[in-house]
Amino acid sequence: MILKISSPQDIDTAKYYRIGDVIRLLGLSADTLRYYEKIGLLPPVNRTPSGIRIYNKQDLSRLRFIKRAQKMRFTLAEIGMLMNMRTNPQHARDEVRQLTANKLAEVELNLAEIQVLRDELRLLLNLCRGSEDGCPIIETIDEDITPAKS
């Protein structure tokens, strides 16, 4: 049964969801949905006799998984690996753990870089406050003004 989704209760009663409903429910574009299908993150979806894509609850679950994994900064290739491990979980625990540890290391490195950038921007703002002429930000932006670590 294809049901136009107009309320949260409709989500529980629908077996299939039109592409417009999926777009509204998950905040994804039609192009993104087609792309995920093209690269295999989403299996080929069913279609109505008129060719409109329809999605089932498993498709929505996969799409929610993809969105959450992207928020965790996993690449689409990594998400594909996770999806395979999700459907074939035998012996996947160690691989998932290693992939997650690698992602955490990347995030921690990015965080350290952002903290250095924040300190540099604060220093530039402080330089600007004490200047009467010129713009210290523009004048020093090509210099390394990162405070020396002691």
Reported as a pLDDT band with limits 50, 70 and 90, residue 25 is: very high
Reported as a pLDDT band with limits 50, 70 and 90, residue 5 is: very low
Alpha carbon distances (Å) from 43 to 7, 85, 109, 139, 141? 27, 15, 34, 54, 49
* Radius of gyration over every alpha carbon of the chain, rounded to an integer in angstroms: 24
Contact 45, 34 (CB under 8 A): no
Q: Looking at 48, 66, 88, which one is the last position of a domain?
A: 88
- The per-residue pLDDT for 8 is 47
Instruction: Examine residue 93 and state whether it is found in any structural domain, yes or no.
Output: no
The tens digit of pLDDT for each residue in 41-73 reads: 999 998 888 888 999 999 999 999 999 999 999
Place of tokens 């969105």: 67
Say yes or no: 67 and 32 in one domain: yes
CA distance 96 to 102: 10
* CATH code for the domain of 38: 1.10.1660.10
Among the ranges 62-66, 125-129, 131-135, 138-142, which has the highest mean pLDDT value? 62-66
In this structure, of 63-67, 70-74, 102-106, 124-128, the range with the lowest mean pLDDT score is: 124-128
| Domain count within the chain | 2
Contact 2, 8 (CB under 8 A): no
- The per-residue pLDDT for 1 is 47
CA distance 72 to 66: 10
What residue type is 66 in one-letter code? I
Say yes or no: 2 and 73 in one domain: yes
Residue 105 half-sphere exposure toward CB, CA atoms < 13 A:
6
Instruction: Examine residue 84 and state whether it is found in any structural domain, yes or no.
Output: yes
- The per-residue pLDDT for 113 is 97
First to last CA, the chain: 67
Instruction: Examine residue 2 and state whether it is found in any structural domain, yes or no.
Output: yes
Full domain range(s) for residue 138: 98-150
Does pLDDT of 90 surpass 70?
A: yes
